[in-house]
Amino acid sequence: MKADPKQAVRLLKTVIQELSRRHIPATPENYTVWYHYAAATDAELVDYIKRLDERRTAYSEPVNQEIYQRFIEKGGAQQHILEIKNSLRHFVDTLLNTLNSKNSELKDFANTLKIFNQKVEAVQSSNDLQALFIGLMVDTKRQEESAVNLQASLQQMADDINVMRHEMERTSEQAYQDELTKIGNRRMFERELHNAISQSRHKKSPLSMIILDIDHFKLFNDQYGHQVGDKVICYVANILKNSVKKRDKVARIGGEEFAIILPETPYGGAMTLAEQLRNKVSNHQLSSSKDKVRIGKITLSAGIGSLQPDDTRDDLFFRTDKCLYQSKENGRNRITGETELK
């Protein structure tokens, strides 16, 4: 049985909305899962997602993969992908059918004009000529109304496509954004690090990384509460974001842990920046007038690494992270570069 094209369009919109409000990236695998959720084709999948929502589960990459493997791969991914292709095809079919219908009407109108020209040659009286013009006016008016209807149909379709495009863009953007600080999240960091390493190899340009951690944050969070703790995390995130170049990428990769990817920045430049950031954060006395809390100073520890010829992504990350660990071991509120590793 042929699917309703309008229903296919509604499903597309619903899937994008479901992905957006859960901050799930719109990958083909995720889209497949949520298409079947929106269409309610698998009651077990619908119940499972409802339970995840009730527990306020964060739809991280491992969670999304587990859902896909559990409910989609078990039934044959190709069949599900085919169904989604069909829903998109029905949407296009609606447009093509509309255009074909109007094209047929245009051909009929062209034939009407041809017949009119032939009849004009045979007209012998003004009454006959008037009757011909009245008939042409009726056909022309009908064609004008048809053109208006076509324009309205196409405009509605264009509006639907634009809405879905904007929703898809917003969903993709949110999927790579940390909800609290609005800087990049771990997913964005991993993607950008992969891209930065590829560019560095291609251009033969330097690439450095800084990993930073708010010192004693757990004790601080326990003392002042999570609400104030969140404000401190946002304060640090803003300092980092506003202190780097446009090409640099700042991400929150853990609770109180941040990373900065520095394309085209040599090791020495990264060391200088890390020290500047440490000073900016530690030189301010913090307080929250709304919460009537005097926080005092907070400090950062940092590790700095630079891409080496044989490094993998993990090599660079873990070496930089080891530098951060050494900063903490040596008393915190300090930076450690990879050349200082013991």
Catalytic residue flag (residue 83): no
Per-residue DSSP letters for 225-284?
-HHHHHHHHHHHHHHHHHTS-TT-EEEE-SSSEEEEEEET--HHHHHHHHHHHHHHHHT-
d(CA 257, CA 276): 17
Tokens standing for 151? 């324009």
Strand 293-296 vs strand 286-288: parallel, antiparallel, or unpaired? antiparallel
With 0-12 CB in 10 A as exposed, 13-18 as middle and 19+ as buried, what is 53?
exposed
Catalytic residue among 190, 192, 256, 338: 256
208 by DSSP, 3-state: which? strand
Amino acid at 291: D
Beta strands in 1-149 (DSSP E): none
d(CA 280, CA 261): 19
Task: Show which residues are catalytic.
Answer: 256
